[in-house]
Structure 1
Amino acid sequence: MAAAEPKPPTGAAAARRLARSCWSAFWDYETPKVIVVKNRRLGIVYRAVQLLILLYFVWYVFIVQKSYQDSETGPESSVITKVKGITLSEHKVWDVEEYVKPPEGGSVFSIITRIEVTPFQTLGTCAESMRVSNATCDSDEDCVAGQLDMLGNGLRTGRCVPYYHGSSKTCEVSAWCPVEDGASVSQFLGTMAPNFTILIKNSIHYPKFQFSKGNIENRKGGYLKHCTFHEVSDLYCPIFKLGYIVEQAGENFTELAHTGGVIGVIINWDCDLDLSASECNPKYSFRRLDPKHIPASSGYNFRFAKYYKINGSITRTLIKAYGIRIDVIVHGQGSTAGTMDMGPAHTPQQNQQPKGPHAARPGGDMNGMTTPAPS
């Protein structure tokens, strides 16, 4: 009689065997085997890699990037501007009230340098501009009465009339007449414009660190009435000549004054607030913002009108103004280790009194920003 085959272990027995195996393995001790290779070249490569990693963290991460510091970008900022100067055109003297638009003194403003004037416009009928599409005609049949061209000057009457000069004809429109290019006169205001002075008063605040500062020192003796900006000797005299701004932006003033353009005045406040407040200074840069190499989008101009009455009839003077638009742009980053557990450090306060040539003085708000601008 054959011997009986052993029965396979049941599920409970298999589970107990697995548990005993895991329990036994739990108390095992493992250690990696270390091999020391006596090879100078390999050792040099190994230590060089370690040194590079160490230098990366010490030099780039800690010294260059200052990653141990807490930082805040985009400071709260206010900008007040004031332009001074007079200039001449062929027919009159122009003062600030006429050539600066808008007059409020904000961070974006325009200085008019050339105008095209269409005087004595009244509501009536006249020839449409030849610049308008499909405005030229040979007879009345070419003009549709009641047609309105959104890029034109008015509502067409259905008549074909002689143009302002030459032998051409255009469709008649009901509009402010004469239209702009029919009787405009060009005047250049830019002869003395390079000597215009622009005061740019800027104050910034990093709320995270309660740090504030301005770009004007609290000096006495009418300092702002006699100084102009110099990067070394008069950093805290933010009075710039318009010609200097255009030159620093790499532009030709005469050309820019004729075509118009947009110049950015960039004020950068990158401040290491672990240092004295006198080390936190504004850095100015200038560049043209509109793409001058693309004719379709380069240049800058706008229109406005002056209204009055002549013999009871409403009359206006239409002015197409070309100018230099100034955009004051403020950005920066404040950083400090004062809010992190990295050893002794301080958090700059708004009222601290640093030492140095650009230090704040007692009694001045926002490190000297209470100095009144020259009137």
Structure 2
Amino acid sequence: MILTKSRIDLFELNPYEPCPCDSGAKFKFCCYKKAKASKPKRIIDLSYSDGRIHNFVKQFWEKTDFHTCFAFNKEECDDLIKSAHSIQNNRILNRISKDGHLYTISSTGTKEGPVSYLNKISRNKASTFFGFCNIHDTELFRPIEKKEYIGESIQNFLFAFRAHAIEHHKKLRKLNSQKNIFIEFPFTMLEKEHIYVYRVAQLDVRDCSVDYKVFKKDYSNANFDNFRTLYRKLDFEVSFAACSSFAVEYDLEGNIMNDIYSVGYEHMPSIYVNVYPTSGGTNILLSYHLNNDGTYKNYFDQLEKLKNEDLLKYLNFLLIQYTENIFFDPSFIENLSEKQKNSLLKSFDSSIYPIEKAILISEGSYYKFNLFEKNMDKSDS
């Protein structure tokens, strides 16, 4: 990326912008002197064991958690903010769990940097976030929690909104994480790489806030027809479930839709993805708001033309490339070969570290797994 005058603020804190410590004061009159006086040091001591580094990173991330309710009619909120499931626990996660557990892809800190691994967790903790109060977690999502999907516009709206909510919450946590680094290590407020991460996090939150306002307006007007939703029903159960929103970089013809690796100033819209097993089948829902026709209309036209076989091949890539909020049946993961597990994790990493993609391709290991392998035990039951 070429640094221009219009982009200089991506790498520097403006003296008169709000201080990242959230004091409300301008940076120049708040933490600037502290940042200048702070002595640079390693944030993570490389003399630590990998286990200690992992615990440090985990605790730092846990400090960013917060409770809120993303529902639109705040006056009706309950005081209790639940650990809400973005993927329904009793009708979806229970179908892919074994002895109350399932797998997800997690990251751990090491001396060499972040490393992805397959993490076995309780399904009661899977896909949870503190994003809705007790009332709204139940009442707002009743049309998709208590009713099978039949393509109603309110259902399409709610599946998209829940995918938005968990990503919005996560983006706010990532912004809080960088703010916490600034506070604990003030010298980082003058370091370009940390300021760049801060700018990316700010823009991610900005994009989510823009999208949230659109959801709120539609909900307030009871206008649920503003989403284009591609729906496919498979005749077998998959061994995973996913719920996420993200901006897609390229369409199926290789045309760029969002320059996701460069930091720009324009809104970068998301698509909303839900894939989950039902009794004897699988539901696939891909959506975008019609406000974003200019970005995604041709892309969805291309997706609509795909036969199921080709769509599944594409989703096998899309889900691992773009989302962390995906959970797997333990039997599926444990039956993968070591080569397939390595391909799954490294392909996931390649979305963050492009050099991994080149390595995997050279090894013939890029996306050498099939998320949509038929679960014969469930399909035949």
TM (norm. structure 2) is 0.18
Structure (1/2) with the larger strand percentage? 1
The structure having more radius of gyration, on CA atoms, is 1
